[in-house]
Structure 1
Amino acid sequence: MIQRVEKIIGAKYSGGNILLNNGLLYFSVGKYISIYDHVNLRSEVLQTSNSTNISILSTSSCGKFLLIVDFLGSIFILNLQKKTTITKISTRERVLDAKFSTGSKFFAVVKQGKVDIWSLQLVGLSFQKVSLFKTFAIPFFHTENNRSLSWSSDDSCIVLGCEDYTCRIFELRNQAGEDKAEVLIGQKEYIIDTHMSNDMSTTYCVTRNGTLGTWQKIKGKWRMEEVKKLNSVSLASSSCFNRKNALLVVGFGSFFLLYDIHLHMQLQKIALDHLSLSSCNFSGNGEVILFGSDRNGRISLWEWKKELMIFTYEGHQQNIRTCAFSRDGSLIATGSADCNVKVWNHNSGDCVSTFSDHLMPVTAVTFTTANHIVISASLDGTVRAFDLIRHRNFRILVGDESGQYSCLAVDSSGDMICAGTCDTSKIFLWSLKSGRLLDVFVGHVAPVSGLHFNHSNSTLISGSWDKSIRFWDIYDGRKKETEVISLLSDVTCLDLNSYNSHLAVSSIDGNVSIICSRTMEIISSFDASQDINGTQEDHYDTNIHTLAYNMDGELLLACSYFHMYTFESKGYTLLRRFAAGNWIQMENLCSSTSQLIFSAKCSPVKQCWAASTSNGLYLFAEENFRKALFEVAKQSKCNNVIEMIATGSYYEAVSTALGLKLDFRVLQSILYSIPQRSVGNVIKMLSQEHLVLLLEVLQSCLAGSKHLTITLSWLHRICLTRCEVKCQIYTIWRVGI
């Protein structure tokens, strides 16, 4: 499908479990799992058939399986080596916590008022049977952030902190009573983490007020041994135990404590620049501590033995407003409302450079013909040029007066930089080499919404909210404005197809006009508002604000705030429409004015594209792009074939169906729907290639169709009109008999 996501770049961490297994960092981004190799600096996306955002992740002790839970209570178990779903369980209840057992024989699922224990029978790398083993009743459990579930070392019992400030121990094979639990009391705050020692004689609990409680099992009864205040300054936000090294890490706002539970001593106290730690965890081998902050979207990896921060993942803090591919497609630049410009490696997903020079949101980015220079425009009234080799801002371009820049364009030489403003309605032209302001184009009377250079004749094309498209000759100082095209509504965006010089222009009324940039005439237009209004999902989603042609100009990509549309560029018929909510994180949809898609760009060298969204840059794979485009075109043309038959265009219907290589059963139905009096004319007009395909279809009809008379009639007509294939017909006849 076209919604298949290849990578998610620049998405901030928004909460939930963080896992580090075999050097791979796992965390959820909406409905997907982002996998980042922090050693080799490569990223990928793992996805399942979940319909809502992922809330919980857990890995098995062997590191081969991943437990995934979404917000609707659907549970998935994935094979991490094959990246395939092994089993799916639909609970239809909100899951508050879930975790594999130590030996990977069970997994526990905490819900409101109960804990389900599921049994796993493992055969090789797959589960032969997954069944509900036991259910325990617990006090009403509703705190989503209270994930205090833990397992014993031998998988015989679970430990859970409950809402009544008690810690309960449930034995899976309790002979006295199946649902009876041992209750440990004495906490004055709710429990955020629990742990049982390897010999199962000691249980530890960490509470919200930063207290570590220790219980000892003496003569079969649990007794409080020690209560220690780890920190009295602030509340604990997260906690995690490590069984292998007998360590405890507790996060307190902007710092964490590393504590040895055997020696009863503090090992480290490290202050981080996170605003607030929301999650912490140990890696699979226990050598690295993971910290996550959902406020600033950062994940940090701390190697506690060396006391060294080995890696920090940080995406954009706010919406990604714009993106651009480099000329060779190897790099992607993004501009965000957090005032930062980031450059990413397209293949690996690694962040190459981050520039924080702008003081207000970035509205446009682009590359020059030299792939190592990025140009950005911002609402702070500056256009900046960044050098990716020296990693610095080497040029600041400003106009003759203060203004907020909304769009950018760079000519083919890479020296002429144009930027349009949204407040003064002017277009400024600079030389990148000298940094001088060369010219100011005045003519628009409303914000400039789009700029594009026509490299074939060095003409600058601009669109504005004043309902006009203007063509400027930047090299002729006497006659700057060469042509003006008036439209019926405000222009929201534009893009130029360099293969046929078609300029696609979208207006606020939903109309898309196709203008020939050579003759300056409108050659076609279509009303895209009918497609937008047909969704009926949000009244705010009323117009297309982004247009982009793909690399060969055969496809036009259009975006509204909540939907994406693909049009074929010959007749500009709609191929597909799909909702961004199917693949973008949905937390921001509480407001009717929330926006998901801000811009989209197609790669200049590959059949792939990127969408700037409210939470990251979504990249779509090349093979999926081609397959989706072909399947969508096939589905659209199948409808055209039906219309051709209804209007009597039988030859066009047969040739189109054979060219698409549809399923034999579909082709048989098409052939049988054509009147016998028209069969001869159809056969005469078919090309040699299509005739050979037709014979293959007729051969399949002889083998399995009940309409033998009609099939023989087609073969008879071929013998009478196309003598060159008589030998093939004889072969078909023998095979059919």
Structure 2
Amino acid sequence: MKFAYRFSNLLGAVYRQGNLNFSRDGNVVISPVGNRISVFDLKNNTSETLPFSTTKNITCVGLSPDGSLAIVVDEDGAAVLVSLITRAILHHFHFHKPVSSIRFSPDGRKFIVTKENVALMYHAPGKKREFNAFVLDKSYYGPYDETTCIDWTDDSKCFVVGSKDMSTWVFGAERWANLIYYSLGGHKDIVVGCFFEKDSLDLYTVSQDGTLCVWESDTELDGLILKKSQDKPKLPRQGEEEEEEESEERDKVEGEEGEVIRGKVETAKEREKKKNVRYKMMSKHFFNKEGDFNNLTAAAYHKPNHILVTGFASGIFHLHELPEFNLIHSLSISDQRIASVAINSSGDWIGFGCSRMGQLLVWEWQSESYVFKQQGHFNNMASLAYSPDGQYIVTGGDDSKVKQGWETPGLKGRCPAVWNTNTGLCFVTFTEHTSSVTNVTFTSSGFVIVSASLDGTVRAFDLHRYRNFRTFTSPRPAQFSSLAVDASGELVSAGAQDSFEIFLWSMQTGRLLEVLAGHEGPVSCLCFSPVQSVLASCSWDRTVRLWDMLDSWQTKETLPLTSDGLAVTYRPDGQELAVATLNGEISFWNPHTATQNGSVAGRHDLQTGRKETDKITAKQSAKGKSFTSLCYSADGESVLAGGQAKFVCIYNIKEQMLIKKFEISCNLSFDAMEEFLDRRKMTEFGSLALVDEGAGDGDGVSISLPGVRRGDMSSRHFKPEIRVSSLRFSPTGRSWAATTTEGLLVYSLDGSLVFDPYDLDLDVTPASIRKQLRLQEWASAIVLAFRLNEKALKQEVLEKVPHEQISVVCGSLPDIYVEKLLGFIATCLEKSGHLQFYMTWAQNLLMLHGQKLKNRSGAILPTLQALQKSIQRHFDDLSKLCDFNMYNIRYAVALSKQRGLKRAAEEETEDQEEEDEELSEEMNAFQIS
């Protein structure tokens, strides 16, 4: 349970390629990100990455009409049937060829898959468990080139398929007598989109050259006539009858895999005789083109509102009302190609995806405002850091894009970005840096971010006002590759990779305090001690130097290494130092005595894969790999290590052994993933990766010279290599994050495991616990519940304790259960609405057992940080709510005071009347006497 970390979320990437989908209610966007699927809830402003992955990048996603199922297909045609309710994989299937598009019928009974020039119709998976979920119904042949798009009629009777051969084919989903297939021309370029009109066979087709054709059918949907069932074709006979049957079999052949429909050209007499459905082009419209290469790249049509949305290669999109072709508005949201367009069910929100920049935008066209806009680090994420309460993560990367929004001309910068771990979204991006950000960190207060960059500056950013309030520079231009801030937040240090010096600045004044010289190689990593004012610097000169900040910044100790130093980190209590070196070892040192406590040889644990262009084996390639990032766990008992491989390792420091390995990716679209050479990719001329295929990059026609690899090398069409650039444990110890080629991966402890017994015997049962509650033995019930350790039962026991009895129960608890109860309260406080109740528990536990907990500060620290994170989140939410309703609260307080004064005056009047009555009665009695 301690190391049962599982994939939790993927941050830093919102869209890569493929088609976007909206959920049934229109509030959720489903976006393919590499070989995973991310779900963005626009109503609650949260994101979630589903816990499954494919073997290669996802190219298309088909969503069922009820929103419960999704079919995900990757680049090779491998499909996965996923339940969006349980987030589980239900079925695997392989189409053996790349799939261009997939679409469910509106009634949910069938779905169409197009690959090459064929359209395959399958029976949709049912709600019951099936051995084979994909049953082929019919195969439709018609286009001569690859198919590009699909659309269904509203009653699921017919569907239309667009093709690269500039034709559009209408097919019948059933055996209609007057419509088996119909071919439409009229375009001079690739058909990008084809759409049926609502409750009609009328068509709209859009081509890549910006042409819209409007087609009208002479038949309504109710006019389709079902063909009578025919017997199966018999065996061919001799003579003329054999030729007749062969001609009939061209239209229909029944086999084991389903029916095959082949399109053919019919004569006018045959069409007149059958009275088939006919189409007529009513009009032809052209979009306004700006430039020679402004191709129409994506289109979507909302049938109830008759709105057509088209995206172009220049980043412009148009909204037109059909069939009149009235332009509603035209906007430019990017300077890059729009790869995908989707409209939600109400027609209010439009989703755009830009694959080159990794951008995702949701636009509300009526109010002309953004509903959602995110952009991830596209090239590489270099570093990350957790905030002290674990609520935020800051990342820095090598990309040149402006995150949290679409790129605008003239505004470029390498940017640190801040992510909310609860929502999974980026809420602020700083764009002051002009080159790659090499390192980022938080100060101890959690409200200041410091980043180092290759542009020669170190910048400090304020999270209250979202501004750059300090910029630190060196006397001579230097490229900073490492960064550290001390525990007080006053000293900022950065290491230069060219001058081998370490620079120290004051956060308060922004002035340079000292330049530390002594290393004979580039400074690779810096780390301050959490308890002392000591700086540890790791360098390629095979040394780790400890600098005393209180003693004139002199070298306190020099630790000799066996190889070049790559990473150094302190244990959370400051009593140990871990160093990763170039030979693949992790050594552990005592910083006070400068002695080595142990080492771990981890080179074989990395298991580096083989690149496509490598001429040596993966085993030989692994000899040159090492760990490049280290991080201690929250309790300091283990260390997390990662490098240029797909594995992250957790080592036990005391035993000096490997505990667990995490495979961060299984995406074969990345390089260095396969361990062995794939013979299928070898030809007589060598590896396919080195052989020119004579094709361009897909956006235009380019004729490459002999010996030149596929495409243009300057256009960054390359296969990225899998690697882990940075690792950090959350201060709460419940999760850890890694910046990888895929993005920012977050792994959390699995909370599904309920039964984790502690000190259990036969008498500890739910019945005995509830018996103690009835007897009002609160402390005994809590002890028994924590022995059984079921979350629901523990919460039930705690919430039945009366509020006035909390302090008494906390004082009578055994010491061993105090820490467990405090950790459970921190977990409950994060999601529960009983804020005051659980805060009272936490306050009493800390006040009554504070001294005992202080003696175990190292072990209790993750629990306290988890508690602080929960309280801080509630504080932020409540403060925003109170600020928003400030005047309403003042009015309510004033009104309550006024009512209180009025009530007090009424009570005073009643008391005076009672006194007067008593006095009058006494006077009457005196007179009578």
Partner of 1:530: helix, strand, or coil? Answer: helix
Return the letter of the residue paired with 1:8.
L
- Change over 3 Å in CA distance of 1:528–1:14 after alignment to 2: same
Over 3 Å counting, the alpha-carbon distance change for 1:439 and 1:271 in structure 2 is same
Aligned CA distance change for structure 1 residues 544 and 190 (closer, same or farther; 3 Å): same
Match of 2:191 in 1: 191
| 1:268 aligned counterpart, secondary structure | strand
How does the TM-score come out when normalised to structure 1? 0.80
State the distance in 2 between where 1:140 and 1:424 align.
63
Q: Which residue of structure 1 aligns with residue 305 of structure 2?
A: 245
After superposition, the C-alpha distances for 1:352-375 in whole angstroms (9 at most, x for unaligned) are: 321111111001111111111111
Q: Deviations over 1:658-691 (max 9, x none)?
A: xxxxxxxxxxxxxxxxxxxxxxxxxxxxxxxxxx
Q: Which has the higher strand share?
A: 1
Shift in alpha-carbon separation, 1:187–1:535, aligned structure 2, 3 A: closer
In 1, the alpha carbon distance for the partners of 2:384 and 2:124 equals 46
Q: Is the 2:438–2:453 Cα contact (8 Å) retained in structure 1? A: yes
AA of the residue aligned to 2:54? N
- Residue 201 of structure 1 aligns to a residue whose secondary structure is coil
The 3 A distance-change label for structure 1 pair 157 and 163 is same
- Per-residue Cα deviation, 1:28-75 (whole angstroms, up to 9, x for no partner): 112211112233221111133533222212323333332322223233
Match of 1:299 among 360, 379, 393: 360
What are the within-5 Å matches in structure 2 for residues 364-383 of structure 1? 364-383=439-458
Question: Alpha-carbon deviation of 1:592?
Answer: 8.2
**Hey, what does 2:415 align to over in structure 1?**
340
Question: How many angstroms apart in 2 are the aligned matches of 1:593 and 1:88?
Answer: 27
- Larger deviation, residues 600-609 vs 463-472: 600-609
**Structure 2 contact 113–121 (Cα < 8 Å) conserved:** yes
Residue type of the partner of 1:89?
Answer: F
| 132, 135, 138: which one aligns with 2:139 | 135
Q: More helix by proportion, 1 or 2?
A: 2
Q: Deviations over 1:573-608 (max 9, x none)?
A: 122334443269738988688353211111111231
Structure 1 counterpart of 2:79, from 67, 75, 79 = 75
State the Cα deviation string for residues 78-125 of structure 1 (Å, max 9, x = none): 333333334443333321211111221211111123211111364599
Contact 2:8 2:51 survives alignment (8 Å): no
Q: Which residue number in structure 1 is paired with residue 69 of structure 2? A: 65
Q: How big is each residue's C-alpha offset from its partner over 1:375-400, in whole Å with a ceiling of 9 and x where there is no partner?
A: 11111111111000010011111123
Identity %: 30
Partner in structure 2 of residue 402 of structure 1: 477
- The number of residue pairs the alignment matches comes to 624
Q: Is the 8 A contact 2:530 2:574 kept in 1?
A: no
What CA distance in whole angstroms lies between the structure 2 residues aligned with 1:366 and 1:585?
A: 31
Amino acid in the other structure paired with 2:670 = M
- For residues 439-483 of structure 1, the C-alpha deviation after alignment (integer angstroms, 9 at most, x for no partner) is 111100110011111233321111100111111111111x70121
For 2:719 and 2:195, the matched residues in 1 are separated by 44
Tell me if structure 1 keeps the 8 A contact 2:726–2:740. Answer: yes
The residue number in structure 1 matching 2:342 is 281
In the alignment, what sits opposite 1:543? 626
Decide which of 10, 13, 22 is 1:8's aligned counterpart: 10
CA contact (8 A) 1:76 1:87 kept: yes
2:726 alignment counterpart: 599
For the Cα contact (< 8 Å) 2:217–2:280, is it kept in 1?
Answer: yes
Equivalent residues of 1:17, 1:27 under 8 A apart:
yes
* SS of residue matched to 1:531: helix
Mind listing any 5+ residue stretches in structure 2 that lack a counterpart? Answer: 220-276, 400-413, 612-617, 674-688, 690-717, 755-929
> SS where residue 164 of structure 2 aligns?
coil
Structure 1: how far apart are the matches of 2:532 and 2:385?
A: 23
Amino acid corresponding to residue 193 of structure 1 in structure 2: G
1:274-304 CA deviation, whole Å, 9 max, x = no partner? 4221211111222211111122222221212
Q: CA separation in 2, counterparts of 1:392 and 1:511?
A: 41
- 1:419 & 1:106 partners in 2: Cα distance? 61
Which among 566, 577, 582 is matched to residue 650 of structure 2? 566
Structure 1 segment 517-528 matched on structure 2, within 5 A = 517-528=591-602
Q: Which residue of 2 aligns with 1:576?
A: 660
CA distance in 2, matches of 1:626, 1:386: 40
Contact 1:533 1:542 in 2 (8 A): no
- Counterpart amino acid of 1:221? R
Deviation of 1:3 (Å): 7.6
Secondary structure, counterpart of 1:621 in structure 2: strand
Give secondary structure in 2 for the equivalent of 1:618. strand
Q: Could you say which residue in structure 1 is the equivalent of 2:215? A: 215
State the SS of the aligned residue for 2:205: strand
Give 3-state SS (helix, strand or coil) of 2:149's partner: coil
Partner secondary structure for residue 519 of structure 1: coil
CA distance in 1, matches of 2:115, 2:719: 31
| Cα distance change on mapping 1:6 and 1:585 into 2, 3 Å | farther
Separation in structure 2 between the aligned mates of residue 26 and residue 41 of structure 1, nearest angstrom:
14
**CA distance in structure 2 between the partners assigned to 1:398 and 1:556 by the alignment:** 34
Residue 318 to residue 218, structure 1, CA distance change in 2 (3 Å): same
What residue is the counterpart of 1:325 in the other structure?
386
In 1, the alpha carbon distance for the partners of 2:32 and 2:45 equals 18
The one-letter code sitting in structure 2 at the alignment partner of 1:69 is V
Cα separation, 2, equivalents of 1:244 and 1:588: 49
Quick check: 1:12–1:315 contact (8 Å CA) kept in 2?
A: yes
- The answer to whether the 8 A contact 2:42-2:371 is kept is no
| CA–CA distance in structure 1, aligned partners of residues 336 and 672 of structure 2 | 21
Tell me which residue corresponds to 1:162: 163
Whether the aligned pair in 1 keeps the contact of 2:57 and 2:667 (CA below 8 Å) is no
Check the 8 A contact 2:319/2:330 in 1, yes or no: yes
> In the TM superposition, what whole-angstrom CA distance separates every residue of 1:214-257 from its partner, at most 9, and x where no partner exists?
22223621222222112343321111111221221111222111
AA partner of residue 371 (structure 2): I
1:466, 1:380 → 2: CA distance?
24
In the TM superposition, residue 409 of structure 1 has moved relative to its aligned partner by: 1.3
Question: Paired residue for 1:452?
Answer: 527
Matched residue SS, 2:665? helix
Q: Distance in 2 between matches of 1:337 and 1:535?
A: 24
TM-score for the superposition, normalised by structure 2: 0.64
Alpha-carbon distance between aligned partners in 2 of 1:465 and 1:370, rounded to the nearest angstrom: 32
Q: 1:314 is matched by which residue type in structure 2? A: Q
8 Å CA contact retained: 2:10, 2:744: yes
SS of 1:305's equivalent in the other structure is coil
Contact 2:17 2:58 in 1 (8 A): no
Range 299-308 or range 574-583, more displaced: 574-583
Q: Which of the numbers 47, 50, 54 marks the counterpart of 1:50?
A: 54
Paired residue for 2:586, among 503, 512, 517?
Answer: 512
2:530–2:570 CA contact under 8 A, matched in 1: no
Give CA-to-partner distance per residue, 1:602-628, whole Å, 9 cap, x none: 11112311111234211111227999x
Does the 8 A contact of 1:5 with 1:45 survive in 2? no
Deviation at 1:126, TM superposition (A): 10
Measured after TM superposition, the shift of residue 12 of structure 1 is 4.6
CA deviations 1:538-596 (Å, max 9, x no partner) are 53761111111111112211111123222112122122334443269738988688353
User: How many angstroms does 1:524 deviate by?
Assistant: 1.3
CA drift at 1:152? 1.2
How many Å separate the matches in 2 of 1:459 and 1:248? Answer: 64
Distance in 2 (CA, whole Å) between partners of 1:534 and 1:30 is: 21
| 2:42 is the counterpart of 1:38 | yes
Aligned counterparts, 1:474-493, within 5 A:
474-477=549-552, 480-493=554-567
Q: Distance in 2 between matches of 1:256 and 1:323?
A: 35
Partner of residue 489, structure 2: 414
1:83-162 paired onto structure 2 within 5 Å = 83-120=87-124, 122-123=126-127, 130-142=134-146, 147-162=148-163
Q: From 455, 476, 499, give the equivalent of 1:424.
A: 499
1:354-373 to 2 correspondence within 5 Å?
A: 354-373=429-448
Q: How far off its partner does 1:207 sit?
A: 0.4
Q: Sort the Cα spacing of 1:534 and 1:320 in 2 relative to 1 into closer, same or farther, 3 A.
A: closer
Q: Which residue of 2 aligns with 1:649?
A: none
Give the corresponding residue for 2:745: 618
Compared with structure 1, are the counterparts of its residues 49 and 483 closer, same or farther at alpha carbon in structure 2 (3 Å cutoff)? closer
Find out whether 1:224 has 2:281 as its counterpart: yes
